[in-house]
Amino acid sequence: MEGRVSIYVCKLISDKIKLDMSSVKSIFQNGRKYYFEEWRGNEKICPAFGEKVYLTGLGWKHIAKHPRRTLVDKIIRIKKLPLAREILETSTTYQTFQKRGDYFYYGFAAIKGDTRIKVVVTSKGEKGRKILYSVMFKNIKRAEQKRIDRHNIKLIREFRKKYSARRFNKSRRK
């Protein structure tokens, strides 16, 4: 485990896979490339609104950079962006609606196989430009998710303990 942290992640199909930091970085780079280069600029009209749903940095930050999201959650959201795109391009109605101040939030829910997907679109005002805001997935049992979270917390503590001790020792030698 020298120089690398292994993180066990549960994929949406409940298989365990082993990721190291270089593959995590690759997932984020590929997701960013898909979001900004393949999907953005090629948005299709969402049948539910009769207009395009645009992709912005706001949506990317909320999906991939949110500080309270676990790494596992971010990876799942990024890897399943094509599924979110499919939902937006085929859904004829939104299932949830919420108004917070001047902002409107529309929720699209769908089930694909054993995965429940929710895509959130926001706009400023009812007639404002529609923007992809968030993507959520759910399919593993709650007990399984708690077990994975406990394991990830343990790995993170070990990593921090190991590498913070190294930094401390290097700074004391100077």
Q: Are strands 51-54 and 130-138 parallel, antiparallel or unpaired?
A: parallel
Mean pLDDT for all residues in the chain: 80
What phi and psi values does residue 151 have, to the nearest 5 degrees? Answer: -65, -45
Average pLDDT for residues 144-162, to the nearest whole number?
78
* Per-residue pLDDT tens over the stretch 35-93: 999 999 899 999 999 999 999 999 999 999 988 888 888 998 998 899 999 999 999 99
Tell me the C-alpha to C-alpha distance, in Å, between residue 136 and each of 2, 68, 78: 34, 14, 10
Q: Which is more confidently placed, 172 or 139?
A: 139
Of 6-10, 35-39, 140-144, which has the strongest mean pLDDT?
35-39
Amino acid at 15: D
- 75 C-beta neighbours (distance < 10 Å), count: 22
Please give the share of the chain, as a percent, with pLDDT higher than 70.
78
Can you tell me the distance from the alpha carbon of 44 to that of 46, in angstroms, rounded to the nearest whole number?
6
Query: Tokens standing for 118?
Result: 């929710």
Please name the residue ranges forming H helices in the chain.
Answer: 21-33, 57-60, 71-79, 81-90, 142-173
Give the full edge-to-edge strand order of the sheet including 115-124.
45-46, 51-54, 130-138, 115-124, 103-112, 96-100
Beta bridge partners of 53: 130
